C-alpha cells in the first residue's frame, strides 16, 4: 500500500464540507505530518482551483450585504463575531490550498502552512464557541467570499499568493482587531475580547510566514521585495486599501518601514 502524500491529505481537508469533518481531518493530518507519516510525492499535479467544501450555511452575499449592527446587543456582537468566524473558516481552506497547490518547495513551507491550518481551525472553534454562548452559531448570518476569491486569482503563482492573501487580506485583521477589542471592552464583553487576543497574537505569526515566503520567492527570482509588493497591491487593490494600519503589528509580521509608507500612501489616495 502506497504512503499517503501531504497533497492528498490537503485535498481531503479542502473537500470536506461538514464543519466537524474539516476540523477533525485538519487535526489528524497536521499531526500525521508532524509524525512524518505523509510524503511529499507530488503526483498527481494539483487540480485547477475550485470552491472548497463548505456547509450549506452561511449564505454568501456581496460584502455590502453582510450585516453590521451595534455592539450593545448580543445579536450585534454575534453578527460581528460571525464575520470573523467566517474569515477563520476560510483561512483553514486557504492554508490547505497553499499546501496542496504549490509543489516542489522546501519542507519548511509545508510545515509552516500546516501549522497555520491547525491554528486557524483552533481560532474557528474559539469563535464558534463564543457565538454559541451568545445564542447563535456559524451560519446564522450571511457572509462574503472575498478571501477565497483572492485565492482563485492567485492560484497561478505562490509568490503572488503570499503577497496578496497573508500580507494584504489577512493582514487587515492586524489593523482592525484592536479596534474591535476596544469596542467590545466598552460594552463589557470580555469573553469575546479574550478570544480575539489569542487570534491577534497568532495572526501576527501567520502574516510573518507570508512575509518570509514572499521574500523567499522574490529572492529566488531576483526581484526587489518592496517594489514587487507595491506593484502587486497597485495591480490588484488599486483604490481599495485604507488605513489606519497597525504599524507595530505589521513590523512584527515582516513588513518593512518602506512597505508601510507605501501602504499609507495608497490608503491616503484611496
- 179 vs 77: CA distance, rounded Å: 14
So what's the pLDDT on residue 241?
A: 82
Is 254 part of a structural domain of the chain? yes
What pLDDT band is residue 154 in, cutting at 50, 70 and 90?
very high
- 186 vs 182: CA distance, rounded Å: 6
Q: What value does the mean pLDDT take over residues 78-105?
A: 96
Q: For a pLDDT cut of 90, what percent of the chain falls above it?
A: 80
pTM score: 0.94
Is 243 part of a structural domain of the chain? yes
More confident residue, 63 or 9: 9
> Sign of dihedral through CA atoms 216, 221, 224, 229?
negative
Is 27 part of a structural domain of the chain? no
- 34 vs 103: CA distance, rounded Å: 18
More confident residue, 129 or 145: 129
CATH code: domain of residue 183: 1.20.1260.10
Is 37 part of a structural domain of the chain? no
Is 52 part of a structural domain of the chain? no
Give residue-wise pLDDT tens across range 25-62.
Answer: 999 999 999 999 999 997 788 999 989 999 999 998 88
Is 136 part of a structural domain of the chain? yes
In contact, 49 and 152? CB cutoff 8 Å: yes
What pLDDT band is residue 1 in, cutting at 50, 70 and 90?
very low
Judged against a pLDDT cut of 90, whether residue 147 lies above it is answered with: no
Residue 190 structural domain:
72-269
So what's the pLDDT on residue 11?
A: 96
Judged against a pLDDT cut of 50, whether residue 205 lies above it is answered with: yes
Give residue-wise pLDDT tens across range 176-203.
Answer: 999 999 999 999 999 999 999 999 999 9
What pLDDT band is residue 97 in, cutting at 50, 70 and 90?
very high
Is 244 part of a structural domain of the chain? yes
Is 192 part of a structural domain of the chain? yes
Number of domains comprising the chain: 1
97: left (phi over 0), alpha (psi -120 to 50) or beta: alpha
Amino acid at each position: 500500500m502506497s504512503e499517503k502524500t501531504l497533497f492528498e491529505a490537503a485535498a481531503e481537508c479542502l473537500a470536506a464540507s461538514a464543519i466537524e469533518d474539516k476540523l477533525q481531518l485538519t487535526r489528524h493530518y497536521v499531526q500525521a505530518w508532524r509524525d512524518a507519516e505523509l510524503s511529499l510525492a507530488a503526483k498527481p499535479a494539483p487540480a485547477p482551483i475550485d470552491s472548497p467544501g463548505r456547509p450549506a450555511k452561511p449564505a454568501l452575499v456581496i460584502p455590502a450585504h453582510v450585516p453590521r449592527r451595534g455592539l450593545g446587543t448580543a445579536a450585534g456582537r454575534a453578527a460581528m463575531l460571525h464575520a470573523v468566524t467566517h474569515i477563520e473558516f476560510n483561512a483553514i481552506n486557504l492554508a490547505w490550498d497553499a499546501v496542496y497547490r504549490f509543489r516542489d518547495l522546501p519542507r519548511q513551507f509545508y510545515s509552516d502552512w500546516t501549522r497555520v491550518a491547525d491554528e486557524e481551525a483552533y481560532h474557528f472553534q474559539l469563535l464558534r464557541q463564543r457565538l454559541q454562548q451568545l445564542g447563535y452559531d456559524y451560519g446564522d448570518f450571511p457572509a462574503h467570499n472575498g478571501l477565497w476569491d483572492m485565492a482563485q486569482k492567485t492560484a497561478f503563482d505562490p509568490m503572488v499568493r503570499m503577497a496578496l492573501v497573508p500580507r494584504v487580506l489577512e493582514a487587515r485583521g492586524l489593523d482592525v482587531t484592536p479596534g474591535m477589542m476596544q469596542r467590545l471592552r466598552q460594552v463589557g464583553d470580555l469573553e469575546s475580547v479574550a478570544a480575539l487576543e489569542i487570534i491577534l497574537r497568532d495572526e501576527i505569526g501567520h502574516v510573518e510566514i507570508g512575509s518570509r515566503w514572499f521574500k523567499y520567492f522574490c529572492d529566488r527570482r531576483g526581484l526587489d521585495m518592496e517594489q514587487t509588493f507595491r506593484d502587486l497591491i497597485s495591480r490588484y487593490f488599486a483604490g481599495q486599501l485604507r488605513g489606519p494600519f497597525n504599524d507595530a503589528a505589521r513590523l512584527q509580521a515582516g513588513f518593512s518601514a518602506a512597505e508601510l509608507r507605501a501602504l499609507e500612501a495608497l490608503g491616503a489616495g484611496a
